[in-house]
Amino acid sequence: MTTVTGETALPGNGVLGQPLDSREDPQLLRGEATYVADIDLPGTAHMAILGSPVAHAKILSIETKAAEQLPGVLKVATAADFTDVMPLPCIWIPGGVESHFPPHPYGLPGARPVLTGDTVRHVGDPIAVVVAETPRQATAALAAIAVEYEPLPVVTRADEALAEGAPQLHEAVPGNLNAYWTCGDKDRTDAAIAEAEVTVELDLVNQRTINSPIEPRGAVGDYNAATGEYTLYASTQGPHNHRFLLSALVLGIPFNKLRVVAPTVGGSFGTKGYLYPDMALVLLLSKALGRPVKWVDTRTGLMNSTVQGRDHRQHVTLAGTRDGRITAVRCTSYANLGAYPSTIGPGVATALMGRSISGMYDIDAAFCEVYAAFTNTVSLGAQRGSGRAEAAFLMERLVDRYSSEIGMDPAAVRRKNLVPKEKFPYDNGLGWTYDSGNYQLNFDRALELSGYADMPARKAEARTRGKRLGVGLATYVAICGVGPSTRMSKEGMLGGTWESANIRVHPTGEVTVTVGSASTGQSHGTVFAQVAADELGIDPAQVQVYEGDTLKAPYGQGTYGSRSYSMAAPAVALTARKLKAKLVRAGAVFLGIPEDKVVYAGGKVYEEGNEENTKTFAELAMAMWYGWGLPPEIEPALDETTHFDPPDFNYPFGSHVAVVEIDELTGETEVVAYTAVDDAGNIGNPKVVLGQIEGSIVHGLGQALMEAAEYDENGLLVSSDLNHYALPRAADVPFFDLDKTVTPSPHNPLGAKGAGEIATVPPAAAVVNAVVDALSDLGVRHIDMPLTPEKVWRRLRGESQ
């Protein structure tokens, strides 16, 4: 059974908070939505990219003549053709860190060239491009490009890249160390650990995973020679952000001559917010050829070029008392940034991870240090729950290890250490201040809903069937609502992180909302219409939402880090409030009464105590369009914009319980029950959020059970298609038992917290805890993910990790 219960308390006409059907769905269900691969501009030429087949080598020569002469080939280009193009920058270098990388011409840390000319550093590193009349001709011509390589030694692990004598990736980065970053209080933490009654330690591998949106990336560049304007159609989470990066920082073309359009985007989960060489290349080549240039990635191409996630090797320590009070937590992490710093990868691997490690617990001393290293792998980036999932994993594994060490129930240990309700706002000592929460309520609900108390009986019953039942708990806090721009600047983010919204009321009373964010499947058109309709007291059917086109929409960073409903939606609400305020002022004129007698309610204005004297929303819209009789201090028209920069982040949280059964004969782990109680503050559309919670949990289960980006000793990505990289399928999961608690955030007018990815944060920890629980009588204290049947089978037979 799947249930969502709980109360939301929202102002407005009651439209917000309702599980309205997604208005985007019918078009998607009919297959009528246009994704980037479906865009077919007249005269389009097709681009293919030659990626390096080796992980690390000097390029001695590139011979392109044979390729140029093949049928249909229009252009073959290498790095030599783009010497005046600036490198793709990294814009999130964590604060207080000395960043070791050759600088970008604009003072930014340069990341990667659009094409690699001298040294390739990972399999898939782009070396050359072909543009041809058809996609097949372009792909076929790649094989005719002859590249001579001088192999260099390869390293694919962060800890090994930092060791003495390791292969060196960048001349300017001795020792491969991009950043050493810390947070928390080292001395206090070390002292607490030294004095503790009990300490436990774990060595953890948070394996590299591939985000795998089902739609691969794509880009279409269209240069208009008559006007000098460029248009980029791309599968992006943030068209405005890509416009900023490309025009100002890479191509040097005027900002106002670049338009970026995100058509329907087929999922992203973090990866499509990054700047990739192909986005610049289609624009440059469109200008060079005088035709639109289109590129669509393959699955294997995606796996060898689109940012990957997680990838930490950690030594973690927890200290506490014999009676279950946690006194300190410490983490030393080796983070694998891949071959180049991606757009925001270094920030993900440090601040997003490190500042969250103490989770929902009230701990006196905490410290995290991260060594972020370059290796011969695909660049690291965000992945659904990024940073926060890695943090929850280490903390929740430690809490279980500690519980077992002191012989106390892991639920009791957790409960004892949860941040108490009266301590909010809570400074976690690692750099975040949690806005609001009722962790006890949330945690107790998860225990109750999962039937935690009955688990011993269920374990005994499972053994009669040849199964070992295990139960695993995991709690989390996820920083969302990125972010307050000034706060983000202190984290080293080079860019404004606010969001904006415009609302235009048309003479006929219909309403257009435009927002800077861009959906990758989150039903923004439905939810933002609810927000506007709720505030204005009108029917959501009157409201149309546009986003994803920099020409049509006001600025905004886009959709990432579960921020749209707590960043863009508040901008919509505040804009609607501006409109209401204006309508009250204008209403006084139209109704012939003093302003303090005007009531705005139910989408109309009327005189207090005399509802006969009224104007409907449509009448007001028309009257404002005419503008007749308005005093000079009231401008005609109803058209307002808000730029929303919150005072601080928001912090959703939750408690999950996984129940697994392990087959004693095969080692196969089946998730037989899963309970999640998440708190995302006030929710705008429960139906939409339910879908995101369910999808998020399955994504997290994927990391626990089957997903891993495996590189061999030569740096070849072995798992480079979906035959070799396992994603969860429908039969791999049961229905979940879901509930929520509601603790509004004080940091935005909707009381919203992030929701889209939060439930991806705890499942890996919950499942590993459950499997270790099931095997604990065999002396198993930890198993690295993914928990493949073979790995578990070996442990059942007493083999060590």
Residues 411-434: b if buried by 16+ CB within 10 A, e if exposed: bebbbbbbbeeeebebebbbbbeb
Which is nearest to 147 in space by CA: 131, 126, 166? 126
5 scored as a contact of another protein (CB under 8 A): no
Among 60, 146, 172, 214, binds another protein (CB under 8 A): 214
429 scored as a contact of another protein (CB under 8 A): no
Q: 241-246: long-range contacts at Cβ-Cβ below 8 A with a sequence spacing of 24 or more?
A: 241/273, 241/495, 241/557, 241/558, 242/275, 242/279, 243/550, 244/495, 245/88, 245/89, 245/91, 245/275, 245/343, 246/275, 246/279, 246/280, 246/283
Among 729, 778, 790, 801, binds another protein (CB under 8 A): 729
CB of 512 to another protein, least distance (A): 20
Candidate segments 111-119, 152-160, 353-361, 720-728, binder of another protein by CB under 8 A: 720-728
Backbone angles phi, psi at 480, to 5 degrees: -135, 180
757 scored as a contact of another protein (CB under 8 A): no
Based on CB atoms, which residue is closest to another protein, 698 or 765? Answer: 698
719 scored as a contact of another protein (CB under 8 A): no
What is the spatial distance between Cα 562 and Cα 649, in angstroms, rounded to a whole number? 11
Among 92, 223, 244, 269, binds another protein (CB under 8 A): 269
731 scored as a contact of another protein (CB under 8 A): yes
DSSP summary character for residue 13: S
What is the spatial distance between Cα 626 and Cα 637, in angstroms, rounded to a whole number? 8
The size of the interface with another protein (CB under 8 A), counted in residues, is: 59
499 scored as a contact of another protein (CB under 8 A): no
233 scored as a contact of another protein (CB under 8 A): no
32 scored as a contact of another protein (CB under 8 A): yes
What is the spatial distance between Cα 470 and Cα 671, in angstroms, rounded to a whole number? 10
Whole-number Cα distances in Å, 220 to 124, 176, 487, 515, 525: 20, 35, 35, 23, 24
DSSP for 87-129? PEEP-B--TT----SPBPTTSSBEEE-SS--SEE-STT-EEEE
Among 24, 278, 491, 499, binds another protein (CB under 8 A): 24
3-class DSSP state for residue 801? coil
Name which of residues 367 to 406 contact another protein (CB under 8 A). none
Pairing verdict, β 604-607 and 598-601: antiparallel
Among 619, 727, 782, 793, binds another protein (CB under 8 A): 727
DSSP for 337-354? EESS--SSHHHIIIIIHH
672 scored as a contact of another protein (CB under 8 A): no
70 scored as a contact of another protein (CB under 8 A): no
Structure tokens, 769: 């805890």
CB of 707 to another protein, least distance (A): 11
Based on CB atoms, which residue is closest to another protein, 398 or 515? Answer: 515
Candidate segments 197-205, 265-273, 275-283, 538-546, binder of another protein by CB under 8 A: 265-273
3-class DSSP state for residue 527? helix
CB of 733 to another protein, least distance (A): 7
4 scored as a contact of another protein (CB under 8 A): no
565 scored as a contact of another protein (CB under 8 A): no
What is the spatial distance between Cα 431 and Cα 154, in angstroms, rounded to a whole number? 36
DSSP for 408-458? --HHHHHHHHBPPGGG-SEE-SSS-EE----HHHHHHHHHHHHTGGGHHHH
> Cα Rg for the chain, rounded, in angstroms?
27
What is the spatial distance between Cα 209 and Cα 269, in angstroms, rounded to a whole number? 12
Based on CB atoms, which residue is closest to another protein, 101 or 528? Answer: 528
35 scored as a contact of another protein (CB under 8 A): yes
212 scored as a contact of another protein (CB under 8 A): yes
Among 265, 399, 568, 676, binds another protein (CB under 8 A): 265
Based on CB atoms, which residue is closest to another protein, 687 or 781? Answer: 687
696 scored as a contact of another protein (CB under 8 A): yes
Based on CB atoms, which residue is closest to another protein, 441 or 726? Answer: 726
Among 351, 698, 708, 796, binds another protein (CB under 8 A): 698
Based on CB atoms, which residue is closest to another protein, 117 or 691? Answer: 691
Structure tokens, 333: 């992490």
735 scored as a contact of another protein (CB under 8 A): yes
2 scored as a contact of another protein (CB under 8 A): yes
142 scored as a contact of another protein (CB under 8 A): no
What is the spatial distance between Cα 202 and Cα 357, in angstroms, rounded to a whole number? 14
Based on CB atoms, which residue is closest to another protein, 267 or 495? Answer: 267
CB of 544 to another protein, least distance (A): 16
DSSP summary character for residue 20: P
What is the spatial distance between Cα 583 and Cα 505, in angstroms, rounded to a whole number? 11
318 scored as a contact of another protein (CB under 8 A): no
345 scored as a contact of another protein (CB under 8 A): no
My answer on whether omega of the bond before 751 falls inside 30° of 0, hence cis, is no
Name which of residues 279 to 298 contact another protein (CB under 8 A). 298
**Interface positions with another protein (CB under 8 A):** 2, 21-22, 24-35, 37-38, 40, 211-216, 264-269, 298-300, 520-523, 687-688, 690-692, 694-699, 721-723, 727-731, 733, 735-736
